[in-house]
Amino acid sequence: MTIVYIQYWVFLRRDDGKGWIPVGVWVPATRFHGHMFRGDDMFLVAVPFFQLYNLGSNMIKGIRKIYSEVADSYELVNHVLTFGLDITWRKKAARLAARIDGRDWLDVCSGTGEMAQTLSRHAEDGVKIISVDFSPPMISKAREKKNQADIFFVEAEARRLPFPEETFDLVTISFATRNISSSKDYLISHLREFHRVLRPGGSFVNLETSQPSSQLLRRIFRFYVSLIVKPIGALISGSKAGYSYLSFTIPRFYPAEEFSSIIRQAGFSEVQHTPLFFGVAAIHVAEK
């Protein structure tokens, strides 16, 4: 089942009468459709926008289906659309993560394993990395990689990790927190699960897209996501729904400060973040 969203653009006339201020609003098409309205001081346009796999109880299935569809082209699309910056960002996150003393590391929502591999390159001898994901095709792509004797693959859901309390010294997640953030409570329940499996003193490192603090950059970033990421991602991967979903989640993820506060609410302390490339992404580091 799908939900079709309509994007309404409301254009409000500026107080000085010189131009219009656009405000975008998203509404499920089951409630409204096909409007166009024009007045002296505002006009409104409704644009049928995209289809999203059903939310609610089937959300997990929907997201798993998306990643299973895009597994073959996932890395290529990422590298193309970020001009390779995703690789640099993973390296930076891995460098920060590898400062931890302990030897049991967990990479959740590990996908094709790029973060686990990057961590492995920064790890000292004796470190063991568990790579967890719920999509078998993504895990298969990860398994194909070479030189990963220290990485072990587990198929599991991030909210119910099959590990006892206090098993790991480090938990990392990259470009996946958006997938578990359909509501704040849902996001916190996952962060608490990461907290549960960490040992006291252990580190949590989160690499995710973020929101530039400058309004102008934020707008440019949003245009880039909807005008480039969505169609090019769909073209290369062949999954229109997949990249509609992915580009839908990017502008809606929390700004870095707000996400820090959510990490604290999940029980972590010493939360710090590093903005990347004018704030389009951020690395958060926290302690248990």
Ligand X SMILES: C[S@@+](CC[C@H](N)C(=O)[O-])C[C@H]1O[C@@H](n2cnc3c(N)ncnc32)[C@H](O)[C@@H]1O
Residues of this chain that interact with ligand X (CB under 6 A) are 60, 63, 67, 109-111, 114-115, 133-135, 138, 157-158, 174-176, 179-180
Q: Considering the complex, what minimum distance in angstroms separates the CB of residue 98 from ligand X?
A: 16
- C-beta nearest to ligand X: residue: 111
Pairing mode of beta strands 168-174, 104-108 = parallel
CA-angle at 75, arms to 71 and 80, nearest 5°:
130
Q: Between 46 and 173, whose beta carbon lies closer to ligand X?
A: 173
Kindly write down the DSSP assignment for every residue of 117-131, as one continuous string: HHHHHHPPTT-EEEE
Give the residue with the Cβ less far from ligand X, 109 or 198.
109
CB of 11 to ligand X, least distance (A): 34
Half-sphere exposure of 34 (CA within 13 A, CB side): 0
**β-strand partners of 25:** 8
CA nearest to 275, candidates 264, 252, 262, 259 = 259
Count of alpha carbons within 13 angstroms of residue 202, beta-carbon side: 22
Nearest residue (CB) to ligand X, 45 versus 59? 59
Residue closer to ligand X by CB (options 6, 266) is 266
Tell the smallest beta-carbon distance from residue 40 to ligand X (Å): 45
Nearest distance from residue 210's CB to ligand X, in Å? 15
Contact yes or no for 177/273 (Cβ under 8 A): no
Give the nearer residue to ligand X in terms of CB position, either 135 or 244: 135
Q: C-alpha angle 267/96/82, rounded to 5°?
A: 100
Q: Which is nearer to ligand X, 98 or 180 (CB)?
A: 180
CB 232 to ligand X: min, Å: 16
Q: Which residues face 287 on adjacent strands? A: 203, 269
CA–CA distance, 37 with 49 (Å, rounded to integer)? 18
Work out how close the CB of 72 gets to ligand X at its nearest, in angstroms, rounded to a whole number. 12
